[in-house]
Amino acid sequence: MTQEELFKNLIAHTKEYGFIFPSSDIYDGLSAVYDYGQMGSELKNNIKKYWWDAMTKLNENIVGIDSAIFMHPKIWKASGHVDAFNDPLIDNKDSKKRYRADVLLEDHIAKIEAKIEKEVEKGKKKFGDAFNEEQFRATNPNIQRNKEKIDQIKTKMADALNNNDLVALKQLILDCEIVDPISGTRNWTDVRQFNLMFSTQLGNISDESGILYLRPETAQGIFVNFLNVQKSGRMKIPFGIAQIGKAFRNEIVARQFIFRMREFEQMEMQFFVRPGEELKWFEKWRETRLKWHLAIGLGRENYRYHDHEKLAHYANAATDIEFNFPFGFKELEGIHSRTDFDLGRHQEFSGKKIQYFDPEQNTSYIPYVIETSIGLDRTFLALISAAYKQEKLENGEERVVMKFHPALAPVKVAVLPLTKKEELTAVAQKIMQELKFDFNCQYEEKDTIGKRYRRQDAIGTPYCVTVDFDSIQDGMVTLRERDSMSQERVPIEKIHPIVENKVSMKRLLEQI
Ligand code: ATP
């Protein structure tokens, strides 16, 4: 099965089992907007809790806030979003479809890369065991030519984007002979800048001063509350402010399921430090954040750092943590050393002094900031795509199982009476009553036990408890573990400690 087919199956699975639905489904959906179903919202809440606790419980000097989505419009002037939060877009005059100019070029590059891979495959077949891939890649003339092409396009694209040269960007699209995938023509408009912020209007003001923006990131809510939190919490530098919340971006290219959405959630933490100490803290957060990811157990090989060589003018270090999504390595989290840019700009635009008096140094300064910014939905996507497994069983049957880390799994235990007989359901209900205060449990009595196991595998439940006729006599039940499918008889009173040991969030937090 190709990666693409696997990804399609995963998307269908998440809908069938209540993880993710297209928004407004009965109206045929709304592009790049999704709803989380009964399983999805549990999983999402568990991810949030893991992140929130890792920030606020493990670090005495990090506190969390929840700021409003609407903010004073001047904030987005100060942050640079009104003037520079743009994507270059281009329309095809025949299909009337709109594209991001840089994405058209990246897709074109991906096609050339695919040609290179095809050439390598051909070489493999031709030379068999004697095939030396490294040498082949370095010497094959077709590959060399295509590599050169890619380098040239990349350089020209970077220059055009950095210089905001929209004419050069269009020329590059023409030179690459890129055609619209729908109309098949090269009938392109000029490239224009398109601001990604959604705007709306305050009810009691009709002119431009009433324009409000839906926040495109949660970070600004933290910056503008710096003084409030520092003073009310008597926080001493270094300290951090964490926040989880919705952000909105009018993305032109919305695709790859929940990877790029128009409404999504971010988990951001801004860590305020002394000027001059920021690179030390940047390193610390770069390492700590990777540990947070690795504890989830999706495999070190699925993560990589992408250190930025070209930095935004206000940043002095930046890295992305990339994840190996079904469509390749892509950004999951950004970690940036943002100097005093944000607080400095808010000081300038608000006219309020935003400074910290450092009692140890006996001076006041605008603190420097290290930002860690992770997409909740992208973390969700990483989890489901790594957890989704189609397995062939010894008896020839197949099962689909979501191998979530037990601490993050939406349902922790399923309680299953073997049949609907009252002697059994009474015992099972009693077990439910004991477990439900601490764990998210499901009770199921319909269908064969095999079918019920399959349904629990499909949503990733770590444990199934089966009550049978022996249970009434000996007070023991069958405990089935999801991954190994092993079954053991355990006394009813042991279920709670066994499950707790397995699903406790502590297991994850201890590894950070
Ligand atoms: P990209 O380059 O993929 O557009 P970005 O660099 O614009 O991302 P940031 O502004 O650094 O992203 O946002 C921080 C995090 O928020 C990203 O690492 C990502 O996980 C998440 N994020 C950003 N845009 C979206 C989106 N449209 N949908 C879902 N998550 C997003």
CA distances from 62 to 265, 288, 352 (A): 20, 14, 24
| pLDDT reported for residue 204 | 72
Q: What is the pTM of this model?
A: 0.90
Cα(187)–Cα(94) distance, rounded to whole angstroms?
A: 7
Question: Domains of the chain by range and CATH?
Answer: 1-72+196-390 (3.30.930.10), 86-194 (3.30.40.230), 393-509 (3.40.50.800)
Mutate to test the pocket of ligand 1, among 244, 264, 290 (most ligand atoms within 8 A of CB): 264
- Cα(297) to centroid(ligand 1), Å: 23
- Cα(299) to centroid(ligand 1), Å: 22
Angle among Cα 58, 258, 193 to the nearest 5 degrees reads: 105
The pair of three-digit structure tokens given for residue 51, joined into one six-digit string: 């992140």
- Cα(375) to centroid(ligand 1), Å: 6
Cα(509)–Cα(512) distance, rounded to whole angstroms?
A: 6
The pair of three-digit structure tokens given for residue 10, joined into one six-digit string: 């995963």
| pLDDT reported for residue 255 | 76
Report the SS3 class of residue 403. coil
Please identify, by atom number, the ligand 1 atom nearest to the C-alpha of residue 262: 27
- Cα(13) to centroid(ligand 1), Å: 25
Establish whether residue 264 lines the binding site of ligand 1, counting it when its CB lies within 6 angstroms of any ligand atom.
Answer: yes
Cα(395)–Cα(411) distance, rounded to whole angstroms?
A: 27
CA distances from 57 to 54, 64, 230 (A): 6, 10, 18
- Cα(509) to centroid(ligand 1), Å: 25
| pLDDT reported for residue 395 | 86
Do residues 491 and 395 touch, judged by C-beta distance below 8 A?
Answer: no
| pLDDT reported for residue 435 | 97
Kindly tell me the burial class for residue 194, based on how many C-beta atoms sit within 10 Å of its own C-beta (0-12, 13-18, 19 or more): middle
Do residues 396 and 386 touch, judged by C-beta distance below 8 A?
Answer: no
Cα(315)–Cα(132) distance, rounded to whole angstroms?
A: 42
Establish whether residue 375 lines the binding site of ligand 1, counting it when its CB lies within 6 angstroms of any ligand atom.
Answer: yes
Establish whether residue 374 lines the binding site of ligand 1, counting it when its CB lies within 6 angstroms of any ligand atom.
Answer: yes
- Cα(266) to centroid(ligand 1), Å: 8
Kindly tell me the burial class for residue 363, based on how many C-beta atoms sit within 10 Å of its own C-beta (0-12, 13-18, 19 or more): exposed
Give one DSSP letter per residue of 222-266, joined into a string. Answer: HHTTHHHHHHHTT--SSEEEEEEEEEE---SS--TGGGS-SEEEE
Cα(225)–Cα(218) distance, rounded to whole angstroms?
A: 12
Do residues 339 and 369 touch, judged by C-beta distance below 8 A?
Answer: yes
Cα(398)–Cα(231) distance, rounded to whole angstroms?
A: 59
Cα(3)–Cα(114) distance, rounded to whole angstroms?
A: 14
The position carrying tokens 């009337």 is: 96
Helices (H), 99-140: 101-127, 133-139
Cα(425)–Cα(444) distance, rounded to whole angstroms?
A: 10
| pLDDT reported for residue 500 | 96
Cα(85)–Cα(79) distance, rounded to whole angstroms?
A: 10
Ligand 1 atom 26: the closest Cα is on which residue?
260
Q: What's CA 443's distance to the chain center, in Å?
A: 31
Do residues 219 and 342 touch, judged by C-beta distance below 8 A?
Answer: yes
The candidate with the shortest Cα–Cα distance to 328, out of 304, 311, 296, is 304
Mutate to test the pocket of ligand 1, among 86, 252, 314, 373 (most ligand atoms within 8 A of CB): 373
pLDDT tens sequence for the chain (512 residues): 788 889 999 999 999 999 999 999 999 999 999 999 999 999 999 999 999 999 999 999 999 999 999 999 999 999 999 998 999 999 999 999 999 999 999 999 999 999 999 999 999 999 988 899 999 999 999 999 999 999 999 999 999 988 889 999 999 999 999 999 999 999 999 999 999 999 998 877 677 778 899 999 999 999 999 999 999 999 999 999 999 999 999 998 777 899 999 999 999 999 999 999 999 999 999 999 999 999 999 999 999 999 988 788 889 999 999 999 999 999 999 999 999 999 999 999 999 999 999 999 999 999 999 999 999 999 999 999 999 999 998 888 899 999 999 999 999 999 999 999 999 999 999 999 999 999 999 999 999 999 999 999 999 999 999 999 999 999 999 999 999 999 999 999 999 999 999 999 999 999 99
Please identify, by atom number, the ligand 1 atom nearest to the C-alpha of residue 333: 18
Say how many Å lie between the first and final Cα of the chain, rounded.
Answer: 36
CA distances from 8 to 144, 327, 381, 410, 421 (A): 34, 11, 13, 22, 40
* DSSP character at residue 381: H
Query: Containing H/E element for 10?
Result: helix 3-16
Ligand 1 atom 22: the closest Cα is on which residue?
375
Mutate to test the pocket of ligand 1, among 195, 378, 380 (most ligand atoms within 8 A of CB): 378
Please identify, by atom number, the ligand 1 atom nearest to the C-alpha of residue 378: 20
Ligand 1 atom 10: the closest Cα is on which residue?
217
Query: Containing H/E element for 489?
Result: strand 487-491
| pLDDT reported for residue 496 | 97
Q: How many CA atoms lie within 13 A of 112 on its CB side?
A: 21
Establish whether residue 331 lines the binding site of ligand 1, counting it when its CB lies within 6 angstroms of any ligand atom.
Answer: yes
